[in-house]
């Protein structure tokens, strides 16, 4: 049911972790299943994404798409990163089963949320970037469970 690339990225996800002093952080939740992804960008003075890390609390398809998405945005400018859509990520993974397509949205939305965070911090504008709806922000994290 899954392509070899999906399985490979699920088993060996790239760029897992966190970045201290990240230039932009985006956290999003998937409305359908409640899974969560957070992405960290280190963006240099030329607006190139120098480093990227992610954490995904979600299904295998979410992990694989997050992993591939980080590979696709690394080394790109903030403007090019906007073109890393869930469709582009799925294509790079040789497709996903139809019931798992929603999982790939997590990565795209997290990229947008992190770019938005960067723009807010720096005052830079990215044409076509809109405020992420599902950024669940930092507040939730600080709550005691
Ligand atoms: Fe939740 Fe895949 S089932 S992201």
Largest Cα–Cα separation, the chain: 44
Closest C-alpha to ligand 1, atom 3:
59
Q: How confident is the model at residue 137 (pLDDT cuts 50, 70, 90)?
A: low
Has 33 been annotated as catalytic? yes
- What distance in Å separates the CA atoms of residue 14 and residue 144, rounded to the nearest whole number? 30
Closest C-alpha to ligand 1, atom 4:
103
Cβ(132) – ligand 1 distance below 6 Å: no
pLDDT at 140: 46
- Angstrom CA distances, 9 to 67, 89, 98, 133, stand at 6, 12, 18, 27
- Ligand 1 centroid distance, CA of 77 (Å): 28
- Ligand 1 centroid distance, CA of 64 (Å): 11
- The predicted model gives 115-142 an average pLDDT of 79
Look up the pTM and report it: 0.90
Tokens 């950024």 sit on residue: 135
Q: How confident is the model at residue 135 (pLDDT cuts 50, 70, 90)?
A: low
SS3 label, residue 43: strand
More confident residue, 40 or 143: 40
pLDDT tens-place string over residues 30-55: 877 899 999 999 999 999 999 999 99
Of 80, 3, 85, the closest CA to residue 49 belongs to: 80
């Amino acid at each position: 049911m899954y392509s070899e690339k999906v399985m490979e990225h699920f088993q060996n996800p790239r760029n897992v972790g966190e970045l201290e002093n990240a230039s932009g952080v985006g956290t999003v939740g998937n409305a359908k299943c409640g899974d969560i992804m957070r992405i960290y960008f280190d963006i240099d003075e030329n607006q190139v994404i120098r480093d990227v890390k992610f954490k995904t609390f979600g299904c295998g398809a979410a992990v694989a798409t997050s992993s591939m998405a980080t590979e696709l945005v690394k080394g790109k400018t903030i403007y090019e990163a906007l073109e890393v859509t869930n469709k582009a990520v799925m294509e790079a993974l040789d497709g996903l089963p139809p019931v798992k397509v929603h999982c790939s949205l997590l990565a795209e939305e997290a990229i947008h949320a992190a770019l938005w965070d960067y723009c807010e911090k720096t005052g830079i504008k990215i044409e076509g970037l809109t405020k992420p709806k599902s950024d669940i922000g930092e507040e939730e994290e600080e709550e005691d469970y």
